[in-house]
């Protein structure tokens, strides 16, 4: 075939390379995480996540208006409550931090508002469910998730994102939403969420470090790929509208497998550890600034339709 086929013809200059670019990052497909803190009076930078802040409700309102102005279309909300207890009761309080944040966003912007649904920020144990005999009681936890989901829907949320990795959580949430005439509320399930080493900065951000043990009895073993597909399959059958793989860059093979098998929207959460590694490497000069875009492109090239990333604000502002 040589020299008839010369692959370098596709790369001869930037204009030509643009013609043949296979994967393009569309800004409307990026989701910006936002931490809203009931105990803050203004905003405070998270030490382990340069450029990312915890916001008081007042500063949060200004921030989401700014995000909309620069072109952000989607946010996912995480709450830090003033009160924590064994049942995570603040998670389903009508006037809880996330419920108020949802209403503020819906009243003041046209953003798509996603709310993470879990208990780790709201329990005094830092675990994602109700503890009985030093073990997460799966079914007791589901009833709390239902209350939380209903309170989010009442507040006007667009998408509910259950992240606790409890068996049956999607079915339980879909049933309570449909029963209360929230049939159009979308569920974005954290379907294949791995017990990863990349969550450390998030736990600083959300005050959600487990007070004992770890989350390996409910989050997935990172050695397992087939198990991830089974988890996704169950969520699809239970009524998930979007399935998710979390984390992102260490799990490109899982993203690709999920997208190949299920012809439905696939989200990826590029987690705090990924952000902090790339951000700090760029700041220190170890990586070129384009490493950010390369990392985001990899997630979409693997098959992601949506990407939750702490780089969303920065990327959209730059483009």
Q: Which residues are catalytic?
A: 193, 246
* Termini Cα distance of the chain: 40
> Which value, in Å, is the radius of gyration of the alpha carbons in the chain?
20
- Please name which of 49, 100, 86, 238 lies closest in space to residue 162, comparing C-alpha atoms: 238
For residues 190-208, one letter each, b for 16 or more C-beta atoms within 10 angstroms of the residue's C-beta and e for the rest, the string is bbbbbebebbbbbbbbbbb
Q: What angle do CA 113, 246, 209 make, to 5 degrees?
A: 85
Please enumerate, by residue number, every residue annotated as part of a binding site: 118, 120, 128, 203, 215, 231, 272, 310
Classify residue 11 as exposed, middle or buried by CB count within 10 Å of its CB (0-12, 13-18, 19+).
Answer: exposed
Please enumerate, by residue number, every residue annotated as part of a binding site for 5-aminolevulinate: 203, 215, 272, 310
- Please name which of 208, 226, 271, 242 lies closest in space to residue 80, comparing C-alpha atoms: 208
Please enumerate, by residue number, every residue annotated as part of a binding site for Mg(2+): 231
Q: Are 180 and 147 in contact (CB under 8 A)?
A: no
């Amino acid at each position: 075939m040589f020299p008839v086929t010369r692959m370098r013809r596709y790369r001869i200059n930037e204009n030509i390379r643009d013609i043949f670019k296979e994967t393009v990052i569309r800004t409307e497909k990026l989701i910006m995480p936002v931490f809203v803190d009931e105990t803050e009076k203004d905003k405070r930078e998270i030490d382990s996540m340069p450029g990312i802040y915890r916001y008081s409700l007042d500063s949060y309102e200004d921030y989401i208006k700014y995000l909309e102005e620069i072109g952000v279309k989607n946010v996912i909300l995480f709450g830090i409550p003033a009160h924590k207890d064994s049942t995570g009761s603040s998670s389903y309080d009508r006037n809880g931090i996330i419920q108020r944040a949802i209403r503020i966003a819906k009243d003041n912007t046209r953003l798509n508002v996603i709310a993470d649904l879990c208990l780790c920020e709201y329990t005094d144990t830092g675990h994602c469910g109700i503890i009985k005999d030093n073990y997460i009681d799966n079914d007791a936890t589901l009833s709390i998730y239902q209350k939380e989901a209903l309170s989010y829907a009442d507040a006007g949320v667009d998408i509910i994102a259950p992240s606790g990795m409890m068996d049956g959580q999607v079915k339980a949430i879909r049933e309570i939403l449909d029963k209360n005439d929230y049939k159009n509320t979308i569920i974005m399930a954290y379907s294949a969420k791995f017990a990863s080493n990349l969550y450390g900065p998030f736990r600083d951000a959300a005050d959600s470090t487990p007070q004992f043990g770890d989350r390996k009895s409910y989050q997935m073993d990172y050695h397992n790929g087939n198990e991830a597909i089974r988890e996704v399959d169950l969520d699809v059958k239970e009524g998930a509208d979007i399935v998710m793989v979390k984390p992102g860059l260490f799990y490109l093979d899982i993203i690709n497998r999920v997208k190949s098998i299920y012809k439905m929207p696939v989200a990826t959460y590029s987690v705090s550890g990924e952000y902090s590694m790339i951000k700090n490497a760029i700041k220190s000069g170890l990586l070129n600034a384009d490493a950010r875009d390369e990392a985001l492109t990899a997630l979409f090239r693997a098959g992601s339709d949506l990407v939750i990333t702490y780089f969303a604000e920065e990327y959209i502002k730059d483009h």
